[in-house]
Amino acid sequence: MQIRQAREGDAKAIAYVHTESWKTTYRGIIPDEFLDHLTTEARVPQWEQMIRSSEKEQILLVAEQADGKIVGFACGGREREGKLPYDGEIYAIYLLQAAQGQRIGTMLANQVVQYLHTLKLRSLLIWALEKNPACRFYEQMGGTLVHSQTLSVSGENQLEVAYGWQDLQLFGKRSTSQE
């Protein structure tokens, strides 16, 4: 498995991972009608724009198998909202269902965190829907539940939670107070 920076030509594969992981992760959480209408094609422009972006303080990484197939991606940079006392953020981590449980998410997250260190960021935040099974992953990586807010998805209210790391150096390390 190779973790590398996204490049021109990756947008369609990233969009595919994005939509397919939503369909498998959020089935039973978000209305099926919404999930059934997600398409790779609709997401491609978003990822093309991010790949071409001149934004210097964010990163988009892909997990690529030896055969060239992209099975996951992660992106992050400076925290976007400024509401909470964190300066870095992992914006997204998505993996195809078949690629989950193989430490690929850990590899992607660690690479984003390494990049955040180069920006001299000291803390980290990541948002997820409360019912997302990935919340356990964030807890295992040492994240602490620091905030929640209501988010409307397809006309239904969902609870979105934020996990934080006050010290970016502790990402991936469980706090003894959590054990």
Distances (CA, A) of 142 to 65, 87, 99, 135, 170: 27, 17, 22, 11, 7
Contact 80, 35 (CB under 8 A): no
Average pLDDT of 32-47?
92
Q: Which residues contact 118 (CB under 8 A, 6 or more apart)?
A: none
CB 72 within 8 A of CB 99: yes
pTM for the whole thing? 0.89
Per residue in 148-173, pLDDT (tens digit) is: 999 888 888 889 999 999 988 888 77
Q: CATH topology for 2-178? A: Aminopeptidase (3.40.630)
Quote the Cα angle for 73-77-79, to 5°. 120
The confidence score (pLDDT) of residue 178 equals 40
Q: What is the pLDDT of residue 145?
A: 94
Q: How confident is the model at residue 54 (pLDDT cuts 50, 70, 90)?
A: low
Residue 10 scores a pLDDT above 60: yes
Confidence (pLDDT) at 153 = 82
Name the amino acid, one letter, at 112: V
Task: Give residue-wise pLDDT tens across range 74-107.
Answer: 999 999 988 899 999 999 999 999 998 889 999 9
Mean pLDDT calculated for residue range 128-132: 91
Map out the domains of the chain as residue ranges. Answer: 2-178
Residue 34 in tokens: 């919404």
